[in-house]
Amino acid sequence: MKVVQVLPDLDGGGVERGTLEVARGLVAAGHESLVISAGGKLVPQLEREGSRHLTWDLGRKSLFTLRHIWSLRRWMRDYQPDIIHLRSRLPAWIVWLAWKGLPAGQRPHLVTTVHGLYSVSGYSAIMCRGERVIAVSQTVMDYIQNNYPETDSTKLRLINRGIDPEEFPYGFQPSAQWREAWYQQYPQLVSKKVLTLPGRITRLKGHQDLITLVAALKQAGIPVHALIVGGEDPRRQAYADELRARIREEGLDDWITFTGARGDIREIYAVSDVVLSLSNKPESFGRTVVECLSLGVPVAGFGHGGVAETLAELYPEGLVAKGDLNELQQRLQSWFRAGAPEVSGNAVYTLERMISDTLAVYDELTHRSDKQA
């Protein structure tokens, strides 16, 4: 098969990571893999792993982006891909308009993946127009069926995101050298119960709730230290400043640490007593939750969206009603005093299963005798 995946860029993130994982799986299975994007820091890795990259900026929000429709149509006619897999809304519109302009017999098969819980609109509806529509979780499947009921249910495929168990092996422990460097950098963590909240510094991630939680645990006499692990967006500097001001006002400077973006997140998870998921909006898939539970690290999180789905499957002991900080605080006190329930790992949300199921969708389409779906 010739399979083309299309997205805005390859600068990093969950969608981009999944694109590279599927590309790697295609190459390993002997297929031809090509990715169209505006480029980015992941392109060299993509090409090292056997795929080709075509630089085409289809994600720029400008009327000028429409000019690519005719070039794309010519390119599809010449390259004759078997599958075009669309992973983002604006590029999906551009490709779909180009695709519709081809005679039916010359069109490649069209696959879309709904990665997020997008705002419900005609603009977002493009992600349900594939001949096959992949939902990355049951949460997303429900979102599609509830908000776009005109989508033909026979075209829907549930393919949960997955992680590589070799990258997040159960029982993993960092090296002695890493630990030494870590505790030299953060000596305030020694002999403390470590709570970690990963994710970019945005209002969606629940940092204010974390501060409230740490203040309550301090009041209860729990020797806890919280890590906020994630990069700060210069455009949201006011929010980061707001968090630091509140931490100072509440006397929590010695109880909460900002680490910034880190490349050793696996090691940080492994030395955490509990990892938190406090997003105030539902997420499409609880990837962080799955990574931690794969390592055997306890997770506590608000029970909505994909986080509720993954916790219910792998670690229901960590489910807390959305926004219920009192319940969460009581849960953590119990865990810190008596020990958290053991984590059994992850045999459900695996990369191997995700890639196998995705390639099966491609195979299903290309082995049909007609071009209709």
- Give tens-digit pLDDT for 313-347: 999 999 999 999 999 999 999 999 999 999 999 99
- The answer on 226 and 96 residing in a single domain is no
What is the pLDDT, as a whole number, of residue 180?
A: 97
**Crossing angle of the two packed helices 325-338 and 207-219, in degrees rounded to 10:** 50
- The answer on 191 and 110 residing in a single domain is no
CATH of the domain at 289: 3.40.50.2000
Whether residue 170 is contained in a domain is answered as no
- The answer on 227 and 156 residing in a single domain is no
Q: List the domain range (segments joined by +) for residue 33.
A: 2-162+351-366
Whether residue 247 is contained in a domain is answered as yes
pLDDT beneath 70, residues of the chain: 368-373
What is the pLDDT, as a whole number, of residue 59?
A: 81
- The answer on 359 and 329 residing in a single domain is no
**Inter-residue contact 361 to 134 (CB < 8 Å):** yes
User: Rounded CA gap, 299 and 289, in Å?
Assistant: 7
What is the pLDDT, as a whole number, of residue 368?
A: 66
What is the pLDDT, as a whole number, of residue 50?
A: 97
Q: Are strands 224-229 and 256-260 parallel, antiparallel or unpaired?
A: parallel
Whether residue 169 is contained in a domain is answered as no
- The answer on 324 and 359 residing in a single domain is no
Whether residue 323 is contained in a domain is answered as yes
Whether residue 343 is contained in a domain is answered as no
Strand arrangement, sheet containing 319-320 = 256-260, 224-229, 193-198, 274-277, 299-302, 319-320
What is the pLDDT, as a whole number, of residue 371?
A: 45
- The answer on 182 and 158 residing in a single domain is no
What is the pLDDT, as a whole number, of residue 71?
A: 93
Whether residue 346 is contained in a domain is answered as no
- The answer on 8 and 93 residing in a single domain is yes
- The answer on 304 and 205 residing in a single domain is yes
What is the pLDDT, as a whole number, of residue 369?
A: 41
CA atoms within 13 A on the CB side of 142: 11
297: left (phi over 0), alpha (psi -120 to 50) or beta: beta
- Beta carbons within 8 Å of 354's beta carbon, 6+ residues apart: 18, 21, 159, 160, 161, 162
User: Rounded CA gap, 36 and 53, in Å?
Assistant: 6
**Inter-residue contact 338 to 71 (CB < 8 Å):** no
- The answer on 196 and 86 residing in a single domain is no
**Inter-residue contact 172 to 270 (CB < 8 Å):** yes
Whether residue 171 is contained in a domain is answered as no
Whether residue 98 is contained in a domain is answered as yes
Structural domain count, the chain: 2
- The answer on 92 and 226 residing in a single domain is no
CA atoms within 13 A on the CB side of 108: 29
What is the pLDDT, as a whole number, of residue 286?
A: 87
Alpha helices in 80-160 (DSSP H): 89-100, 138-147
- The answer on 200 and 118 residing in a single domain is no
Q: Which of 307, 39, 273, 20 is nearest to 167 (CA)?
A: 20
Helix (H) or strand (E) holding 156: strand 156-158
What is the pLDDT, as a whole number, of residue 62?
A: 82
- The answer on 216 and 131 residing in a single domain is no
Structure token pair of residue 27: 């190459």
